Amino acid sequence: MGLVGTLTRKQRRLTRPIGHYTLGTWVLLALTILVPLLYGIYISLLDINLASFLAPQFVGLKNYTTALQASETWSTLRITIALMFLGMIVQIPCGIILAVALHQQLRGTKIFRSILITPMLLTPVAVGLTFRFMFDTDLGVINWFIGKLGIESVNWLGSQTSGLVAIVIVDSWQSIPFVMLLILAALSAIPTSLFEAATVDGASNRQVFRLITAPLITPTLLVIVMIKIMDFLKLFDTIFMLTRGGPGNATTTLGLWTYKTGFVFLELSRAAALGVIILIITMPVYFLWRKSTRNVR
């Protein structure tokens, strides 16, 4: 007590608990994340419909049971998972190949690196709209190009399979640079002495990749997989611009279905329940992500 009394104002300020400095951030985070989250959970237990001006009633878990019984919830979840797998099968190998190529520090690497990250800088809405025109069956440049190769034009956005492929192509075009950058960072962190020693020992390129590169970038790969899973669970803008979830609901993901429920059907409480369901699905992925990041340098 006596010691505190002798401290100057500046010293007292410096000896404040660390929590005092982060309080503002916590309040901001609580207002922007925690409060909306809790409010979302709260309204998921009511029966709010934007077109009904009746006072909301507490309905307990009814919105959850309705959502879980609806065939669309499961079909859109299947579509989300299908997109996730297709996307990762394309994006992770391509990202690794590009990162390994850039890591060789060949001539023009800097220019290529700049060019390759450009798609990542564009807004998904603009990209989706541009690709929508490119995928047009009659006027699109993609069908024009494959027509030049003698292949019959594809109705890209007119069926479920080709629609999903189109979404994966567009998302991959934007996401591969992100995967590439993370892998490149992981590769840069590997000591060059390991590669030099392997070369002296006469290891082939394939052996170097299998025995040195792959094990050392695995923790980063795990992080990428987790981030991509979360990305696909919330993928919205690209699909909205490209197919609007169509034809019918054939390319509608769980996120897009939640949007339709809330803003097209005006069933706000049911949409909130779907949002909470997405959150519950994402939670284990989040904890895995936290665990995997511990091993990343």
Partner 1 sequence: MKGLTVSLGKRNRVLPIIVAIALALTGCSKGSSDKASGEINIFLIPSPSSTSIQSFIPEFEKQTGIKVNFSETPYGEAHQKQLLSYNQKAGAYDIAQFDNSFLAPFCQAKAMLPLDSYISKSKEYDIGDFSQAQQDYGKCKGETLGLTLSTEPMIQWYRTDIYEKLGLTPAKTWDEYYNNAKKIQASGSGGQIMGFGPNVSWWWMTLVWSFGGQLYDDNLNPTVNSKEAVAATDYLKKLIAVSPKGAITANGDDVTSRFLGEDIGAMLNYSGYYGMALDEKINKNKGKIGTAPMPIGAADITHLAGWNIGIPSDAKNPDAAWKFLEFVFGKTNAKAYLQSGAAAIGRQSIINDAELVATNPYLPQLTISASSRVERYPQIAVWPEFETAAIDAVSQVLTGKKATQAALDALNEKLKPILAKEPRG
Task: List residues binding partner 1 (CB under 8 A).
Answer: 50-53, 71, 136-139, 153, 155, 157-160, 243-244, 246-250, 260, 263-267
Between 55 and 121, CB nearer to partner 1: 55
Q: How far is the CB of 113 from partner 1 (least distance, A)?
A: 36
Tokens of 127: 């990209």
Q: How far is the CB of 90 from partner 1 (least distance, A)?
A: 23
Q: How far is the CB of 248 from partner 1 (least distance, A)?
A: 3
Tokens of 115: 């060019």
Rounded to an integer, what distance in angstroms lies between the CA atom of residue 19 and that of residue 84? 39
Between 137 and 282, CB nearer to partner 1: 137
Q: How far is the CB of 62 from partner 1 (least distance, A)?
A: 12
Between 138 and 201, CB nearer to partner 1: 138
Which residue type occupies 187? L
Between 228 and 260, CB nearer to partner 1: 260
Q: Nearest to residue 276, comparing CAs of 266, 265, 262?
A: 262
Hey, what's the torsion of the CAs at 212, 214, 215, 221, to 10 degrees?
150
Q: How far is the CB of 12 from partner 1 (least distance, A)?
A: 18
* DSSP structure string for 27-71: HHHIIIIIHHHHHHHHHTTB---TT--SPP-B-TTHHHHHHHH-H
Q: How far is the CB of 21 from partner 1 (least distance, A)?
A: 23
Residues 278, 210 contacting (CB under 8 angstroms): no
Sign of the torsion angle spanned by Cα atoms 159, 162, 168, 171: negative
Between 26 and 144, CB nearer to partner 1: 144
Helix (H/G/I), strand (E/B), else coil: 284: helix
Between 13 and 110, CB nearer to partner 1: 13
Q: Contacts by 102-106 with C-beta closer than 8 Å and gap 24+? A: 102/180, 102/184, 103/184, 103/187, 103/188
